[in-house]
Chains A and B, each alone.
Chain A
Amino acid sequence: MNIEIYNLSKSYKTTRALQEVSFQIPGGVFGLLGPNGAGKTTLMRILATLLLPSAGKVRVGDWDVTRQPNEVRRHLGYLPQEFGFFGNLTAFEMLDYIAAMKGVPRNQRKTAIESALVSVGLEDRARQNIRTYSGGMKQRLGIAQALLGDPSLLIVDEPTAGLDPEERIRFRGIMGQLGSQHTVLLSTHIVADIEASCDRVAVLQRGRVVFNGTPAGLAAIAQGRVWDVELDQAEWTALQSRYHLISSRPQNGHVHLRLVGTENPLGRGTPRSPGVEDGYVALISNDNQFVEVEHA
């Protein structure tokens, strides 16, 4: 399913959360990256018909989210960033209710619920009250409910927050599967998730799209600017303002650093081929001077 976003803006009372955002999601798994407060959730809630835009247009498939919200909802699986369930219901009862809301025919509900539960590994706890679930289990149940009704568009807002590594890997598997037939829009802070599952990625910053392309394209932003270097504390303090730190590891009195910056640090750095995270950091840290982005 194709998603088209034109000049989308959204203002809250005092904040301009989205400013003239335009891009397209042709299908597959699309990642949304951005620092806290960049407007990812705002964008996703607009796509999920929960929020009306202040200006601009959004089409999901053949439908306009503002004018035909119910058509969009019929094809939508949504996992909000923050949500909850009725604690006094079991996971099965809760999913049964949600399946009915999504219009899953009565005779197909049981199978649909069971397969959703299996895909998030909750089949054994399905008859327990949700009140007794851990945070990660609730998150998995949230993913399960989004899968109900076989949605052709899946919008998941930080779906892997709170998941243990094993579950995170299982989740990437689900995304990979879904991405082959459906459109998935995924927001995250975990760049590894993007690398693992996304065909395309956009980066939002202060309500604007600062990058839209492939994960490889995002990585390429840092081409020739990623360095591994060993420095002592005094040297690092002197250089700090001109570089962005990706990682640091102390080593016999020195620190072993991975940095992003235009010049080779003190001429002692070893150039490295950039990853998505390096590209993202390079992009974000450039602030306003880096606006020309690669458009697909």
Chain B
Amino acid sequence: MPNASERFRTSLRLAWRQITHHWSYPLAHLIVLAVFFIALRTAEDISAKAILETIPGDIGIALASLAGILIAGASASRSPGAKFSELEQSFPGGSEVILGRSLASFLASILFLIEPLLFAALNGPWDSFLSGLPIYLAEGCLTVALPVALVWLLAHRSGLPTWSYPLLGMVWLGFFGLGYLTPFYSNPAFGLLNFMRHGSSYYSEMWGRLLLDETPRWADLFYVGLGVAALVLLWLVQTANRLHRVPAAAPLLLAASLVLSGFSAVQYSGITSDWLTNHTPWVQTIDPATHVPRQHVAEPYPFGEPPAVEVDVRNYDLTLDFSNEAPKFHATLELGNDQDRALQEFVLLLNGRLALTESSLPCEKQGIWLRCSAPEAFAPDGTLRLELSYEGTIHEAGMIPSRDWQLKDFILPNGLRLSPQAAWYPIPYSPSLEDQGVRNDIFLLRKPALVTLEVIQSASHPYRLASNLPHVDANRFESQGATWIFLIGSPNLVEEQMGDIRLVTARNDLEAVRGAAERYRDIYETYRTIFPAVNTHTALVMALGEELGLPEETHTPPTLEQPVIISSRYVLWSMGAWDQSLSSKYYLGDAVLAEFWLLNRATQLGDEAWSYPSMLWQVNNSPVWYATSSFLWEYYESGGDALDLAERINVRIADQAGGPGESPFSQIVNGLLQVYQQGGQAGLVHAINQLSLMSEETYNTLYAENPEALRQWIVEAGDEAL
């Protein structure tokens, strides 16, 4: 075999030279370089690893595989095209010449990964680049190897006509596009057909790519199988042609690699379709009559008739123990009975993957449903203590629009994300809310509960934690009143105090979201003077990658201690110091005001302030809220200058649909302007306080049809302050 290896090396060397010494090769590198440094420069704000893991990295791999197709086609056609193959077929040897040349095509193609790598490396930081490098190289090589091997298989006998190259390129890129077509991306199994690397989740600087379970591994193995199969087929065909016999190992290898590929594809689509059918705790249906989306518990109630009443939780004492292999949870709940009759049993929701190990009351759990019996009649206004131990992991997927399915809630060795939608703590089931068609908030508590949350970290993988509840120490959170619990943890998590804002984000995002956080701080400081009754000192701003599974997404309810604003890093990047657009008002101003609005109501109305769906109306649909938010935004922008404010308000009114008429909007903002002009800030504080306490019912009965009266009412409220 020494001659065979010599032939392999010589063919490789010559083919390499013929590819790389051709003028088109350096030119192609220049073009790819230009694509990155001119066309993709907007990707600059993200870390090196994020560049490699997201669209720029994908484009790099696509371009390399496209180059691979062209190079392999040209290289394979060279000998037949020059009629040299008639000569070289008379030389001794089996498949080694073709394999050497294919390897040269492959090597010359993967050099096109240098440009994306360079682009990422220059973007930094260095450690992020190094940690992204191995996976990128491995997946890049896998993706490039397959088309190179396929084109060689196609072209090694008689070469390719020139017109076929664009066709091949289009077919290849078409596979990539396929993943983005609606019928395909809605079925996650088609993520596998996205030849430009499987699955496209958002990249999170906190946790990396949140691809589903083992899908990356199965997708990679799918490609390994196909690539090896193509290579073995090339070997087999060439050996059969040259030596008129089939190498004994080849059919076995071919079968094995195809089996591997098929098996991986089945596993991949198994996982993804499993998500579609089995693991969605909530489903949303649209009521055909009213077009109102409604959220339901996906699994039917397994214990007979679903309950008609609910309990509420007054107190949660939660412990998450990650010191063992399987996460263990311990929950002590103090339940209250708000109903006017005694309860024999009550129903809670707890994630279907969690298994109950102990309970202080007789309980049974099936799927997400947890039914417990009260030992003796659970009297109205009574309380009941329930201790639960459960274990298992959390693993929930969600679909991000125009992307694939990705992990939403999870406990991984290198971090966790537990949104309330995952029901990782026992949530009282509320039949009334299901009926009312509340959207994302089926898991919100009706009344704030006292919560303590303690995390016992694994000794081998400790990481930082953050929650919507205030920190007590690194692993402990407490709130006097919270209606939901969100917990995240990651080694990349950073917290920064910026005046009255506590910013929680990923280390690599910190720089980019600071500008937006500073604006939150300014807005927060201004709005706080309008709501002196709200006793908070710090607002929590979480700048994260995605907001799946959170209540009302942009307007997450506060805890009693602090406003909680959770916003997307993608949005915040563009909301730095300069953005003047209306989206600034929406994402920054409204987000802060919603928190103050709810806290102001809570301080004065108590538990009633949290009740759904009126809370939703208050900070989303209420014309009073909407007009006040516009007024306050202009108040903040004008810095309190009455003349400037008046001018801005007039512009705002003119911008409103329907013009300056007598709409509630113009009546409210004009009323507030009048109050400010006459009574200054003190008047404004009084009037806005009154407005925020107005109920939906009051508004609808007294003012919806008579906005002029509302204006009158506002002006009077302002006068009271004097």
B87 & A70 in contact (Cβ 8 Å cutoff)? no
Residue of A nearest to B242 (CB): A69
Residue of A nearest to B78 (CB): A86
Known: A66-B244, A69-B242. A83 touches B84 (CB 8 A): yes
A130–B78 alpha-carbon span in the complex (Å): 15
Interface size grouping (class) on chain A: 20 to 34
Say yes or no for A103: interface residue by CB 8 A criterion: yes
A73 & B84 in contact (Cβ 8 Å cutoff)? no
Residue of B nearest to A85 (CB): B84
Q: Contacting A73 at CB < 8 Å: which of B18, B91, B244?
A: B91
Residues of A within 8 A of B3 (CB): 103
Say yes or no for A9: interface residue by CB 8 A criterion: no
Say yes or no for B10: interface residue by CB 8 A criterion: yes
Q: Residue-by-residue, is A88-102 near B (CB-CB < 8 Å gives 1, otherwise 0)?
A: 100000000110111
B244 & A52 in contact (Cβ 8 Å cutoff)? yes
Residues of A within 8 A of B14 (CB): 97
Q: Contacting A88 at CB < 8 Å: which of B18, B89, B91, B242?
A: B18
B181 to chain A, nearest CB (A): 43
Instruction: Give the dominant DSSP class at A's interface.
Output: loop
Q: Contacting A101 at CB < 8 Å: which of B78, B91, B242, B243?
A: B91
A50 & B90 in contact (Cβ 8 Å cutoff)? yes
Known: A67-B244, A80-B87, A145-B87. A101 touches B93 (CB 8 A): yes
A157–B6 alpha-carbon span in the complex (Å): 29
Say yes or no for A84: interface residue by CB 8 A criterion: yes
Instruction: Give the dominant DSSP class at B's interface.
Output: helix
Residues of B within 8 A of A49 (CB): 89-90
A50 & B91 in contact (Cβ 8 Å cutoff)? no
Residues of B within 8 A of A100 (CB): 6-7, 10
Say yes or no for A82: interface residue by CB 8 A criterion: yes
B91 & A98 in contact (Cβ 8 Å cutoff)? yes
Q: Which of B70-91 contact A (CB under 8 A)?
A: 78, 82-84, 86-91
Say yes or no for A76: interface residue by CB 8 A criterion: yes
B97 & A101 in contact (Cβ 8 Å cutoff)? yes
Residues of B within 8 A of A106 (CB): 6
Residues of B within 8 A of A142 (CB): 87
Residues of B within 8 A of A70 (CB): 92-94, 242-243
B84 to chain A, nearest CB (A): 6
Residue of B nearest to A106 (CB): B6
A129 to chain B, nearest CB (A): 12
Say yes or no for A87: interface residue by CB 8 A criterion: yes
A86 & B244 in contact (Cβ 8 Å cutoff)? no
Residue of B nearest to A77 (CB): B90
Known: A74-B92, A100-B6. A86 touches B87 (CB 8 A): no
A253–B517 alpha-carbon span in the complex (Å): 113
Residue of A nearest to B97 (CB): A101
Residues of A within 8 A of B91 (CB): 73, 98, 101-102
Q: Which of B361-399 contact A (CB under 8 A)?
A: none
Q: Contacting A80 at CB < 8 Å: which of B6, B86, B242, B244?
A: B86
A136–B89 alpha-carbon span in the complex (Å): 23
Residues of A within 8 A of B242 (CB): 69-70
A73–B92 alpha-carbon span in the complex (Å): 5
B405 to chain A, nearest CB (A): 50
Q: Residue-by-residue, is B93-133 near A (CB-CB < 8 Å gives 1, otherwise 0)?
A: 11001000000000000000000000000000000000000
A101 & B7 in contact (Cβ 8 Å cutoff)? yes
Residue of A nearest to B92 (CB): A73
Residues of A within 8 A of B92 (CB): 70, 73-74, 101-103
A106–B78 alpha-carbon span in the complex (Å): 25
B18 & A82 in contact (Cβ 8 Å cutoff)? no
A112–B86 alpha-carbon span in the complex (Å): 22
A83 & B10 in contact (Cβ 8 Å cutoff)? no
Q: Residue-by-residue, is B264-308 near A (CB-CB < 8 Å gives 1, otherwise 0)?
A: 000000000000000000000000000000000000000000000
A85 & B243 in contact (Cβ 8 Å cutoff)? no
Say yes or no for A8: interface residue by CB 8 A criterion: no
Residues of B within 8 A of A87 (CB): 82
A83–B82 alpha-carbon span in the complex (Å): 8
Say yes or no for A243: interface residue by CB 8 A criterion: no
Residue of B nearest to A97 (CB): B14
A78–B86 alpha-carbon span in the complex (Å): 10
Known: A69-B242, A86-B18. A78 touches B82 (CB 8 A): no
B141 to chain A, nearest CB (A): 28
Q: Which of B500-541 contact A (CB under 8 A)?
A: none
Q: Residue-by-residue, is A110-145 near B (CB-CB < 8 Å gives 1, otherwise 0)?
A: 000000000000000000000000000000001001
B84 & A78 in contact (Cβ 8 Å cutoff)? no
Q: Contacting A82 at CB < 8 Å: which of B83, B88, B97?
A: B83
Q: Which of B1-49 contact A (CB under 8 A)?
A: 3, 6-7, 10-11, 14, 18
Residue of B nearest to A65 (CB): B244
Say yes or no for A48: interface residue by CB 8 A criterion: yes
Q: Contacting B82 at CB < 8 Å: which of A50, A76, A84, A97?
A: A84
Residue of B nearest to A71 (CB): B92
Residue of B nearest to A99 (CB): B10
A67–B245 alpha-carbon span in the complex (Å): 8
A101 & B88 in contact (Cβ 8 Å cutoff)? yes
Residues of A within 8 A of B84 (CB): 83-86
B620 to chain A, nearest CB (A): 70
Q: Residue-by-residue, is B636-648 near A (CB-CB < 8 Å gives 1, otherwise 0)?
A: 0000000000000
Q: Residue-by-residue, is A134-172 near B (CB-CB < 8 Å gives 1, otherwise 0)?
A: 000000001001000000000000000000000000000
Nearest first, the 9 closest Cβ-Cβ pairs linking A and B are A84-B83, A78-B90, A73-B92, A101-B91, A103-B3, A100-B10, A84-B82, A80-B86, A83-B86
Known: A50-B86, A70-B94, A101-B92. 12 other contacts (CB 8 A): A70-B242, A80-B87, A80-B90, A82-B83, A84-B82, A84-B83, A85-B87, A86-B18, A86-B78, A98-B91, A101-B7, A103-B6
List the interface of chain B (C-beta within 8 A of A): 3, 6-7, 10-11, 14, 18, 78, 82-84, 86-94, 97, 242-244
List 30 interface pairs A-B (beta carbons < 8 Å), by A numbering.
A49-B89, A49-B90, A50-B86, A50-B89, A66-B244, A69-B243, A70-B92, A70-B242, A70-B243, A73-B92, A76-B90, A80-B86, A80-B87, A84-B82, A85-B82, A85-B84, A86-B82, A86-B84, A87-B82, A97-B14, A100-B7, A100-B10, A101-B10, A101-B91, A102-B92, A103-B3, A103-B7, A103-B92, A106-B6, A142-B87
